[in-house]
Amino acid sequence: MRAFEANFVAAADHENEFPNLHLPEVAFAGRSNVGKSSLLNSIINRKNLARTSSSPGKTQTINFYVVDDKWSLVDLPGFGYASISKKTRSYWELLIFIYFETRKDLKFVCCLIDSRHDPQPKDLALLEWLVNNNKRFIVILTKCDKITEKAITERREQLLNLLAQCDGLMDVVAYSSESGLGKKDLIGMLNKYLVR
């Protein structure tokens, strides 16, 4: 299974800087530390990495990549990063929702949730917003190598039950960037829903 090739195209900290790519798009969202960077690194080879560092303290941006020249991948800033000010935090959360509202080519959102814990208020707020705004989404349960198979099944059932009435839910995928669990499924879905 080949990893995707992603070319960095833009880093935006304002909606005016969102690029016009005219490609089917997917966005990855989740709370800080959920394992988003690890997941993205597990499925794509990113070029121009130096421009997109998201280590703590660095300026946050919404990062746009073109993948295999066919679709675009958007890496959204982590929700609720504790060490930035409340004011900055709400700016980022607002910008993320502006992004969701304005991207015409956005096909679905991958919502990352830590498999080890019940969904947190920020996770639920994201899911609720997507449901209320008729967006399609995949829930990805991260760090599944840290819990038992039984716990994975239970967490997956919990999310499926929670979202049972939601038309936008595409799937709940158990994932581990360490073990590779779910990688094939996720790559399969990205290919299926984004490649024309």
The DSSP 8-state label assigned to residue 13 in this structure reads S
Whose structure tokens read 């399969």? 188
Helix (H) or strand (E) holding 136: none
* CB nearer ligand GDP, residue 28 or residue 100: 28
Token pair for residue 21? 């790519």
Contact status, residue 12 vs residue 64, Cβ threshold 8 Å: yes
183-194 helix and 36-43 helix, angle to the nearest 10 degrees: 70
What binding mask, one character per residue, do residues 55-94 give for ligand GDP by CB under 6 A, x or -? Answer: -----------------------x----------------
Binding mask 15-54 for Mg ion (x = CB under 5 A): ----------------------x----------------x
Handedness of CA 161, 130, 3, 35 (dihedral sign): negative
The CB-of-36 to Mg ion minimum distance in angstroms stands at 5
Stretch that binds ligand GDP, among 18-26, 130-138, 148-156, 174-182 (CB under 6 A): 174-182
Positions in the binding site for ligand GDP (CB under 6 A): 30, 32-38, 78, 142-143, 145-146, 176-178
